[in-house]
Amino acid sequence: MRTRLLAAASRVGTGFRRPGRSWFWLGITLVTLSFGVYPAYALMVFSPMSWWDKLAVAVGLTAISWSMFLVGSAFAGKNGLAHLRERLSSWRVHRGTSVDR
Residue 77 domain boundaries: 19-95
How many C-beta atoms surround the C-beta of residue 44 within 10 A? 15
State the average pLDDT over residues 69-73: 89
60 part of a folded domain: yes
> What CA–CA distance (Å, rounded) separates 11 from 21?
23
**pLDDT band (50, 70, 90) for residue 98:** low
- Average pLDDT over every residue of 20-43: 85
Q: Is 16 helix (H, G, I), strand (E, B) or coil?
A: coil
Q: Say if 12 falls within a structural domain.
A: no
User: To which H or E segment does residue 77 belong?
Assistant: helix 51-88
Q: Determine the pLDDT at residue 40.
A: 85
In a domain, 50, yes or no: yes
For residue 29, being part of any structural domain is answered with yes
Mean pLDDT of 31-50: 87
Would residue 64 count as lying in a domain? yes
Overall number of domains in the chain:
1
pLDDT category of residue 13 using cuts at 50, 70 and 90: very low
How big is the chain, counted in residues? 101
Per the domain annotation, does 5 fall within a domain? no
Domain-embedded: residue 3: no
**Alpha carbon distances (Å) from 55 to 34, 44, 49, 60:** 19, 9, 10, 9
pLDDT at residue 11 tops 70? no
